Amino acid sequence: MTEGAPNLDFTDAGSGTCKAGTAYTAGQSCTVDVSFKPKFAGTRYGAAELLDGSGNVLAIGYVQGTGVGPQVTFLPGTQSVVANAATNGLDTPQGIAVDGGGNIYIADSSNNQVLKETLSAGSYNQSVVANAATA
């Protein structure tokens, strides 16, 4: 996991001793080897999770690495409008954040809502994550 999203910067290298479908007893140990291929520059945080057969987390091992290289590339480049007043009433954006999966979150204080913009097939799909009426 990278910031909660699977298979971004950190992936299972496949050479550890922990194997899916294997029953482990208390006190037994195994290893997970992780491959680090950062998608962005800067410090990247991740975790390897050991799950039981029902998907419950039994253990977590934290990892981090530093990606180097350009943060922004311009070519070929396509500009996209994420949100604006004409299409969705965005009036007074007060903050913006991007998660590990590339989703964009915009805090719209005039409308008391948080918009989530998800990139799909070259354009953004919008949803309201929270607003004053549902929070």
Cα 106 from Cα 128, distance rounded (Å): 10
- What pTM was estimated for this model as a whole? 0.51
86 phi, psi to nearest 5 deg: -70, -35
Q: Which residues contact 61 (CB under 8 A, 6 or more apart)?
A: 32, 47, 48, 50
**Model confidence pLDDT, tens digit, residues 38-80:** 888 888 899 988 888 888 888 888 999 998 876 665 556 666 6
So what's the pLDDT on residue 25? 82
So what's the pLDDT on residue 66? 92
Confidence of residue 121 (pLDDT cuts 50, 70, 90): confident
**Model confidence pLDDT, tens digit, residues 72-110:** 655 566 666 777 776 667 778 888 888 877 888 989 888
